[in-house]
């Protein structure tokens, strides 16, 4: 039985994490928690509440450190064959300690790609318990961002795939350059507010252009607290879009 | 450009040694043919072609500096 990763539900994220700790018999710090969906008590209490869902796994850092502490976690950490052409002295020192951490691997792949694109920019790493944030110190040309962030998203997607392909330990990798993510979030919130006003004024649903899950989430969250509005997503895959509805008057 | 494609493909697959890229140079537009191990084809295409699309996006970004068009074909 594979107990490497477990999906758990709870009323809140904290409750789900607590369950995960019991399930693995390990303290919180030893687990990798990935939030699949945040629970909500329902939009304005009109739509039913959603359970929080998390994906938990044992940190493979611990596996490497303690070896076969426990039969279930016996699998060895393999060092992934990352083509190592991008070698700068900084990286080498970090990569040395026991295998390679995901963050180092992610940075290496990103650096390798950038070099071959002829964009040899420095990359900063910032790691939290479930995400790795990579910040490219760009030249401000926006080349790495692309139209609507498509180049940045494509890079982020590829790096996630390449880094997490061996799948024992997984972390979400977030790529950013020139503060694009933050600027984008601000723009989206402004857009959400503008369209929200329109929905209230006209008392009719307003449709937002199709966007990816991350962008939709920002809009949902931006309008979450507005009691006069409701947000829904409609459509499939790339065409999924948000509809902002004026809330029904009770 | 060929190196870039090879590098990305190698990072994604399980059998990096079997990654091969051929360039068909056509002046303004060049075609790259990517071949990977049979088991790895899905890895470079991805769900609904998402990985292939991401690779093409990165290639066009890299190409914009070179003022050239590149087409990426994944060969079976």
B2-75 CATH, one of 3.30.230.10, 1.10.1270.20, 3.40.50.300, 3.30.300.20: 3.30.300.20
pTM of the model: 0.65
Q: Which two tokens stand for residue A103?
A: 């963050």
pLDDT 10s digits, B64-76: 888 889 999 999 8
By the 8 A CB rule, do A77 and A60 touch?
Answer: yes
B69-75 β-sheet, strand order:
B20-26, B29-35, B69-75
Asked if B54's CB is within 8 angstroms of A155's CB, the reply is: yes
The burial of A68, by beta-carbon neighbours within 10 Å (0-12 exposed, 13-18 middle, 19 or more buried), is given as exposed
Asked if the model's pLDDT at residue A75 lies above 70, the reply is no
| Chain B interface, best mutation among A83, A145, A158, A238, by max B CB count within 10 A | A158
- The mean pLDDT value of chain A amounts to 77
On whether the CB atoms of residues B50 and A157 are closer than 8 A, the answer is yes
Q: Which residues, other chains included, contact A247 with Cβ-Cβ below 8 Å and sequence gap of 6+?
A: A44, A46, A227, A228, A229, A230
CATH 3.30.300.20 is held by the domain A60-178: yes
Q: Given pLDDT bands bounded at 50, 70 and 90, which one contains residue A7? A: confident
Give the pLDDT band of residue A185 (cuts 50, 70, 90).
very high
What are the sequence ranges of the domains in chain A?
1-58, 60-178, 182-246
Task: Among B4, B57, B65, select the one facing A150 at the smallest CB separation.
Answer: B57
The pLDDT-based confidence of A25 (bands split at 50, 70, 90) is confident
- Average pLDDT, stretch A218-246? 92
ipTM of the complex: 0.94
pLDDT in tens, A27-42: 676 767 777 766 665 5
pLDDT at A191 > cutoff 90: yes
Among A112, A151, A153, the residue with its CB nearest the CB of B7 is A112
Query: Is residue A140 over pLDDT 60?
Result: yes
Over range A50-72, report the average pLDDT. Answer: 56
For residue A39, the model assigns a pLDDT of: 64
DSSP string, A169-212: S--EEEEEETTHHHHHHHHHHHHHHHHHHHHHHHTS-EEPPP--
Confidence tier at A46 by pLDDT (50, 70, 90): low
Q: Please give, rounded to a whole number of angstroms, the shortest distance from the CA of A203 to a CA of chain B.
A: 37
R_g of chain A, CA atoms, integer Å: 21
How far apart are the C-alpha atoms of A134 and A171, rounded to whole Å?
12
Low-confidence stretches of chain B (pLDDT beneath 70)? none
Helix and strand numbers (H, E) in chain A are 7, 9
Give the β-pairing of A241-246 and B29-35. Answer: unpaired
Classify domain A182-246 by CATH number: 3.30.1370.50
Taking CA–CA distances from B56, the nearest residue in chain A reads: A154
Q: How many CA atoms lie within 13 A of A104 on its CB side?
A: 19
Question: Is A157 a residue whose pLDDT tops 50?
Answer: yes
pLDDT per position as a tens digit, A92-134: 333 333 346 888 889 999 999 999 988 889 999 998 888 999 9
pLDDT tops 90 at residue A244: yes
Q: How far is CA A146 from CA A9, A106, B59, in A?
A: 37, 21, 12
Kindly tell me if the per-residue pLDDT of A71 is higher than 50: no
Count how many Cα atoms sit within 13 Å of the Cα of residue A74 in the half-sphere of its side chain. Answer: 4
């Amino acid at each position: 039985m594979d107990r490497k990763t477990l999906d758990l539900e709870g009323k809140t994220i904290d409750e789900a994490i607590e369950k995960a700790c019991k399930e693995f018999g390990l303290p919180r710090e030893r687990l990798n928690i990935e939030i699949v969906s945040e629970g909500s008590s329902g939009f304005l209490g009109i739509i039913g509440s959603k359970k929080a869902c998390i994906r938990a796994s044992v940190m493979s850092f611990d596996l490497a450190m303690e070896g076969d502490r426990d039969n279930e976690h016996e699998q060895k950490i393999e060092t992934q064959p990352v083509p190592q052409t991008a070698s700068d002295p900084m990286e080498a020192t970090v990569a040395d300690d026991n295998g390679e951490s995901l963050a180092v691997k992610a940075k290496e792949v990103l650096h390798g790609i950038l070099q071959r694109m002829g964009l040899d920019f420095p990359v900063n790493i910032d790691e939290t318990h479930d995400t790795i944030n990579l910040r490219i110190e760009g030249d401000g040309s926006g080349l790495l961002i692309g139209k609507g962030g498509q180049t940045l998203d494509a890079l982020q997607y590829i790096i996630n795939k390449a880094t997490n392909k061996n799948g024992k330990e997984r972390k979400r990798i977030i790529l950013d350059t020139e503060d694009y993510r933050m600027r984008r979030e601000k723009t989206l919130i402004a857009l959400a507010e503008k369209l929200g006003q329109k929905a209230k004024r006209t008392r009719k649903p307003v449709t937002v252009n199709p966007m990816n899950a991350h962008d939709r989430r920002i809009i949902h969250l931006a309008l979450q607290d507005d009691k006069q509005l409701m947000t829904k997503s409609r459509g499939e895959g790339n065409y999924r879009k948000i509809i902002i509805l004026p809330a029904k008057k009770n | 450009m060929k190196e870039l494609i090879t590098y990305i493909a190698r990072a994604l697959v399980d059998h990096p040694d079997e990654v091969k890229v051929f360039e068909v140079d056509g002046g303004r537009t060049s075609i790259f043919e990517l071949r990977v191990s049979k088991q790895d084809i899905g890895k470079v295409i991805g769900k609904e072609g998402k990985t292939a699309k991401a690779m093409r996006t990165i290639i066009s970004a890299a190409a914009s500096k070179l003022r050239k068009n590149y087409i990426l074909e994944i060969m079976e």
